Amino acid sequence: MNLRRRYLRDRLMVALVYLGTLLVLLPLLFILGYVFVKGIGALNWDFFTKPPAPPGEPGGGMLPAIVGTFVIDLMALAMGGLLGLGGGVLMAEYPEHPLNRPLRLVANVLGGIPAILMGLFAFVFVVVPMGGFSAFSGSVALAILMIPIIMRATEEVLRILPWELREAGLALGLPRWRVTLSLILPAAKGGIVTGLLLALARAAGEAAPLLFTAFGNPFISFDPLGPMDSLPLKIYVYAISPYEEWIRQAWGAALLLALLLMVTNFLARRALRRS
Amino acid sequence: MRDKIYGQLGDRVFTAGLVLLGLAVMLIAGLMAWELGAGGWEAFRSFGFWGFVRGSAWNAVAEQFGAWPFLLGTLITSAAALALAFLPALAAAIAVAEYAPRWLAEAVAYLIDLLAALPSVVYGLWGIFVLVPLVRDHLEQPLFLWSAEHAPALMGVLGPPTGIGMLSAVLVLALMIVPYASSLARDAIRLVPRAQREAMYALGATRWEVVRRVVLPYARGGIFAGVILALARAIGETMAVTMLIGNSGQLPYSVFGPAATMASVIANEFAEAEGGLQLSSLLAVGFLLMLLSLAVNLVADFILRRMSVGEGRK
Amino acid sequence: MKRFLPLALALLAAAALAKGVTLSGAGATFPYPLYAKYFSVYHKLTGVRVNYQSIGSGGGIRQLFSGTVHFGASDAPLADAKLAEFERKFGTAVVHVPTALGAVVPIYNLPGVREPVRFSGPVLADIFLGKIRKWNDPALAALNPGVKLPPLPITVVRRSDGSGTTYIWTEYLAKVSPEWKEKVGAGKSVAWPTGLGGKGNEGVAGLVRQTPGAIGYAELVYAVQNKIAYGAVQNRAGRFVRADLASLRAAAELDDFPADARVSLTDTPAAEGYPIASFTWILVYRDLDKNRAVKSAAEAKALAELLDWIVHDGQHYNEALHYAALPEVAVHATEANLKALRYRGEPLLGE
């Protein structure tokens, strides 16, 4: 009797757990499906090759935003990658260094700060001193977002590597920096690339830090010191607008951005699995 | 000892480089805190720190500013979103880590991670054109009409059934943090040692009993910490909320009604504010937002340390 | 990493090569559809790129003050105190360049109502004060005999950002409603007693379009282009006037135009005039070298030429987008102001 009740409860809980899972997955799959269906109709040749048309006029495309997304994000990755890698290597390879404790604390703190505050930072310290909105200032904001992610990922992968590897290098008479650069980093390459790509994917979807920095630009621009457009920014501006054509293109941009992020995530996983 | 470790020239240059990079990171964090604190100084000085925190006017004409409506808006929306998201997220984590066959678990985990990567503006876009009409026509208006007939006292609590407002913002926030909370809980559950489970099964426990008596107690520190981190995510979430919450500087007074959060008011007004006290007040709101996020993250850290049974990794 | 760095360098190099003049401006959303048209045409004509971001008039003024843009744009002229502050700070004046005449119209979303709804100033004020809460309120019904107004609750939609459109709207409401003047006042961002906040004219129009029962205010072109219904407003002469080119021109029939171009048109006494009309202005430093965003004489010259083009040839594009062209007096006053633009003391426009 008692046993039966226990089994019954077990079944019930299985059902509830799967129900909960469905509750999580269904709306999210619905969003994804909706973005796909709505977005696919907006993706055409013009979308990828034309600058936006003045409001109310038909046509136009997203080329400046697509180009800008790549420029801003790659510059951010270069800056954030350098700082994040440096911090991560310091924490993992020099565990006895006095800077480590405060650095770890700062990394945790930075990781918990909302992205919009990175935008404020870049506005005050880059936009105003440089006298203008710029892609570079947007990259700075996104780079700060990436730093803690890259730092943590780098530290974690390096920690996993056996100490014997380092000892082997040192036994060969290699100085510590050579061991780090020629043995440790190559051995951890997969994991580090994963960290970089995940940070990139996280930052590339953010619009909030770009509101007061990259600013947007209807023309194709490669000038890092001038304003530049970006897909998340464009989606925001178009989504809240009353223009049919813009809203249609916002769906297309959302799909494109989602696809780009998925590919980045997929590459990140593959890099991890390879190593 | 130190001389041996850092003795060689190459090593000294290399570590100096790393330290420089580390210092740069710390400098950035320091400057950020300083900029928000110093920028907000004028507002804190004019209204007093608590006067600003508890002030409920946001009026650029009268130059009266207070963060209370936005603080409340942030706290209410993120707490409500977390309450909605918690059980489903936990269920999904248990399903993936304990119940589902390997192929299904992998597929579900992959999907959840994928959805965690969808950007905020995409949730906002979907929110405006799908969720808001849905909520308005099939939830808010029927409820509103029902209360108008049967419980007029409730109408004030419900607020205007326009679809744009707190309810929609909470729902989208919940959807956004579910994948994040779930993957954190999943990681915590996966850390439970296999032997613990097997011991329970050997005693004749059912699967649920194993989950209830072993897995959840063992993983509770990680799960709670995950929940709090999800809360932190919700607190800082900007774009989707800005697009859906209705951006009203009044105290959030009703379920359907418009409100604003700290992040949304900055997104809305920072580029537009004309300067002076309003700008300083916005930076002060940013300062409070930073303090709140820090506090929440510290709590998560604390819980992770205190409530973990034994050591998880290594 | 290693692969990205050369790419970034290559991009920098490409940027250095592709050097046409690029001007950046920010501000009002009220004239944004028109400016987007101007700058798109001007790019094709001259190759000069003008990047205009519609972030709101308040933002335009602040960015102009912080020297992050070549020009700001606003639908509210700078107040005297602000002008004095500017002169103290930069040692030069702000030049107001009017570009067009526009109307702020009450836009609404009332399914089933075909006829344009009529409003009066006090009724609009009461709606935005949250005192009139239903579309079939007696005050509205009295203005609209024969129109079947639904018993829908009114959802007020207004701006969430600092806005010149808000300034025009609230300035008008403050002129016609003492209660509005006392409780809310006129300004670019006010403490709204009620309603949803939308970002920019775009955001307000977007929210109204999405929300049955909503009322908001936006520039005429946003209503027309998006087929959003807009109402007639009773003017000082007692007539119900819908905004169009004729009623705009009537509101702007001025005998004399102030030399600094700062003039308010709301609550016009003209019998046929639309009561919530306004000029919209581009704001620039008179001594352009004092603006940190203007980095060379070439940029200053390009900016002056652009402004000259806008007040002359550019005016042809106004009316297709439902803005009225500048009246003759305004063009004359502005020509004189543009001749005063200088870079390091050198005037930028010839004859």
- Please list the pLDDT of chain C residue by residue as tens digits (351 residues): 445 555 555 555 454 444 578 899 999 999 999 999 999 999 999 999 999 988 888 889 988 988 889 999 999 999 999 899 999 999 999 999 999 999 999 999 999 898 899 999 999 999 999 999 999 999 999 999 989 999 988 999 999 887 889 999 999 999 999 999 999 999 888 889 989 999 889 999 999 998 999 999 999 999 999 999 999 999 999 999 999 999 999 999 887 889 889 999 999 999 999 999 999 999 999 999 999 889 899 999 999 999 999 999 999 999 999 999 999 999 999 999 999 999 998 899 875
Q: What is the pLDDT of residue A1?
A: 53
Q: Which residues pair with C196 in a beta bridge?
A: C157
Q: Using alpha carbons only, give the angle A60, A65, A68 rounded to the nearest 5 degrees.
A: 145
- Shortest Cα–Cα distance, C86 to chain B (Å): 13
Which segment, B57-66, B76-85, B179-188, is predicted with the most confidence on average?
Answer: B76-85
The 8-class DSSP code of residue C317 comes to G
Which residues on chain C are in Cβ contact (under 8 Å) with B133? 210
Please answer yes or no on whether B121 and A83 come within 8 Å at the CB atom. no
Q: Which residues pair with C229 in a beta bridge?
A: C108
How many angstroms separate the CA atoms of B269 and B285, rounded?
Answer: 11
Q: What are the boundaries of each domain within chain C?
A: 2-101+277-347, 103-251
Q: What is the pLDDT of residue A248?
A: 94
Each residue's pLDDT tens digit, B267-281: 988 877 767 888 899
- Pick among 2.40.30.110, 1.20.140.10, 1.10.3720.10, 3.20.20.140: CATH of B40-307: 1.10.3720.10
| Residue whose C-alpha is closest to residue C175's, from C91, C275, C252 | C275
A77 contact C CB<8A = yes
- Shortest Cα–Cα distance, A220 to chain C (Å): 10
CB-based contact B312:B222 (threshold 8 Å): yes
Q: What is the pLDDT of residue C2?
A: 46
How many angstroms separate the CA atoms of B56 and B70, rounded?
Answer: 9
CB-based contact B175:A28 (threshold 8 Å): yes
Query: Which residue, chain included where needed, has tokens 């530049």?
Result: A228
Please answer yes or no on whether B293 and A125 come within 8 Å at the CB atom. no
Q: Supply the mean pLDDT for chain B.
A: 89
Those residues with Cβ within 8 angstroms of residue A246's Cβ, 6 or more apart along the chain or in another chain: A55, A237, A238
Residues in chain C whose beta carbon is closer than 8 A to a beta carbon of chain B? 55-56, 58-59, 61-63, 65, 153, 155, 160-163, 184-192, 194-199, 206-207, 210-211, 213-214
Which residues on chain B are in Cβ contact (under 8 Å) with C67? none
User: What residue of A is the nearest CA neighbor of C51?
Assistant: A217
**Exposure letters B183-211 (e unless 16+ CB within 10 A, then b):** bbbbbbbebbeeebbeebeeeebbbbbbb
Confidence of residue A108 (pLDDT cuts 50, 70, 90): confident
Please answer yes or no on whether B271 and C56 come within 8 Å at the CB atom. yes
How many angstroms separate the CA atoms of A231 and A256, rounded?
Answer: 9
Query: Do C2-101+277-347 and C103-251 agree at the fold level?
Result: yes
The minimal CB distance from C196 to the residues B60, B61, B164 is found for B164
How many angstroms separate the CA atoms of C86 and C92, rounded?
Answer: 7
Instruction: Using DSSP, state whether C253 is helix, strand or coil.
Output: coil
Please answer yes or no on whether C61 and B62 come within 8 Å at the CB atom. no
Q: What is the pLDDT of residue B314?
A: 36
Give the distance from CA A73 to its chain's centroid: 9
B-contacting residues in A 11-50 (Cβ below 8 Å):
13-14, 16-21, 23-25, 27-29, 31-32, 34-35
The minimal CB distance from A77 to the residues C4, C222, C293 is found for C4
B124 contact A CB<8A = yes
The minimal CB distance from B248 to the residues C187, C189, C195 is found for C195
Q: What is the pLDDT of residue B4?
A: 54
Give the distance from CA A49 to its chain's centroid: 25
- Shortest Cα–Cα distance, A114 to chain B (Å): 4
B-contacting residues in A 181-220 (Cβ below 8 Å):
181, 201-202, 204-208, 211-212
- A-C contacts (CB, under 8 Å): 104
The minimal CB distance from C292 to the residues A131, A219, A224 is found for A131
| Residue whose C-alpha is closest to residue B88's, from B19, B179, B162 | B179
How many angstroms separate the CA atoms of B299 and B291, rounded?
Answer: 12
Which residues on chain C are in Cβ contact (under 8 Å) with B268? 160-161, 197, 199
Q: What are the boundaries of each domain within chain B?
A: 40-307
Which residues on chain C are in Cβ contact (under 8 Å) with B274? 58-59, 61-62, 162, 188
Those residues with Cβ within 8 angstroms of residue B257's Cβ, 6 or more apart along the chain or in another chain: B159, B160, B165, B166, B246, B248
A-contacting residues in C 65-94 (Cβ below 8 Å):
66-69
Say yes or no: domain A45-274 is CATH 1.10.3720.10. yes
Q: Using alpha carbons only, give the angle C267, C268, C270 rounded to the nearest 5 degrees.
A: 145
Judged against a pLDDT cut of 50, whether residue B109 lies above it is answered with yes
How many angstroms separate the CA atoms of A218 and A57, rounded?
Answer: 14
| Residue whose C-alpha is closest to residue B266's, from C96, C283, A113 | A113
Judged against a pLDDT cut of 80, whether residue B181 lies above it is answered with yes
| Mean pLDDT value of segment A197-220 | 92
Q: Using alpha carbons only, give the angle C320, C321, C325 rounded to the nearest 5 degrees.
A: 75
Instruction: Using DSSP, state whether A63 is helix, strand or coil.
Output: helix
- Shortest Cα–Cα distance, B43 to chain C (Å): 18
The minimal CB distance from B115 to the residues A28, A87, A109 is found for A28
Instruction: Using DSSP, state whether A128 is helix, strand or coil.
Output: helix
Give the distance between the most distant pair of CA atoms in chain C: 74
CA end-to-end span of chain C, whole Å? 55
Instruction: Using DSSP, state whether B260 is helix, strand or coil.
Output: coil
B-contacting residues in A 59-98 (Cβ below 8 Å):
82-83, 85-87, 89-90, 94, 96-97
Q: What is the pLDDT of residue B12?
A: 86
> Subunits with at least 3 CB pairs below 8 A relative to chain C?
A, B
| Mean pLDDT value of segment B26-49 | 93
The minimal CB distance from A114 to the residues B26, B114, B236 is found for B236
Residue B129 CB neighbours (<10 A): 17
Instruction: Using DSSP, state whether B117 is helix, strand or coil.
Output: coil
Antiparallel, parallel or unpaired: β B58-59 and C155-159:
unpaired
Task: Mutation target for B interface from A24, A30, A158, A244: give the one with most B CBs within 10 A.
Answer: A24
How many angstroms separate the CA atoms of C202 and C217, rounded?
Answer: 11
Q: What is the pLDDT of residue A55?
A: 87
What are the CA-CA distances from residue C347 to residues C69, C74, C251, C300, C304 (Å)?
21, 25, 34, 10, 10
Q: Which CATH superfamily is domain C103-251 in?
A: Periplasmic binding protein-like II (3.40.190.10)
How many angstroms separate the CA atoms of C295 and C21, rounded?
Answer: 11
User: What residue of C is the nearest CA neighbor of B130?
Assistant: C210
Q: What is the pLDDT of residue B306?
A: 78
Please answer yes or no on whether A121 and B108 come within 8 Å at the CB atom. no
Confidence of residue B310 (pLDDT cuts 50, 70, 90): low
Please answer yes or no on whether C210 and B132 come within 8 Å at the CB atom. yes
Radius of gyration of chain A (CA): 23
The minimal CB distance from C162 to the residues B64, B260, B274 is found for B274
> How crowded is the C-beta side of B144, counted as CA atoms within 13 Å?
20
Say yes or no: domain C2-101+277-347 is CATH 3.40.50.720. no
Antiparallel, parallel or unpaired: β C22-27 and C71-74:
parallel
Q: What is the pLDDT of residue C22?
A: 87
**Exposure letters A204-223 (e unless 16+ CB within 10 A, then b):** bbbbbbbbbbbbbbbbbbbb
Structure-block tokens of residue C109: 């979303």
Those residues with Cβ within 8 angstroms of residue C229's Cβ, 6 or more apart along the chain or in another chain: C107, C108, C109, C110, C113, C116, C117, C223
Q: Using alpha carbons only, give the angle B151, B152, B154 rounded to the nearest 5 degrees.
A: 75
For the residues of A194-246, what is the DSSP string, one character each? HHHHHHHHHHHT--GGGTTTTB--SS----TTS-B--HHHHHHHHHTSS-HHH
CB-based contact B279:B100 (threshold 8 Å): no
A128 contact C CB<8A = yes
How many angstroms separate the CA atoms of A55 and A22, rounded?
Answer: 41
Which residues on chain A are in Cβ contact (under 8 Å) with C203? 240-241
Confidence of residue B21 (pLDDT cuts 50, 70, 90): very high
The 8-class DSSP code of residue C6 comes to H
Query: Which residue, chain included where needed, has tokens 């969720």?
Result: B131
User: What residue of C is the nearest CA neighbor of B272?
Assistant: C59
Q: What is the pLDDT of residue B249?
A: 84
Confidence of residue A212 (pLDDT cuts 50, 70, 90): confident
Question: What are the helix (H) ranges across chain B?
Answer: 2-6, 9-47, 49-54, 68-94, 102-116, 120-126, 132-135, 141-150, 152-158, 166-190, 194-202, 207-210, 216-236, 239-244, 262-269, 277-307
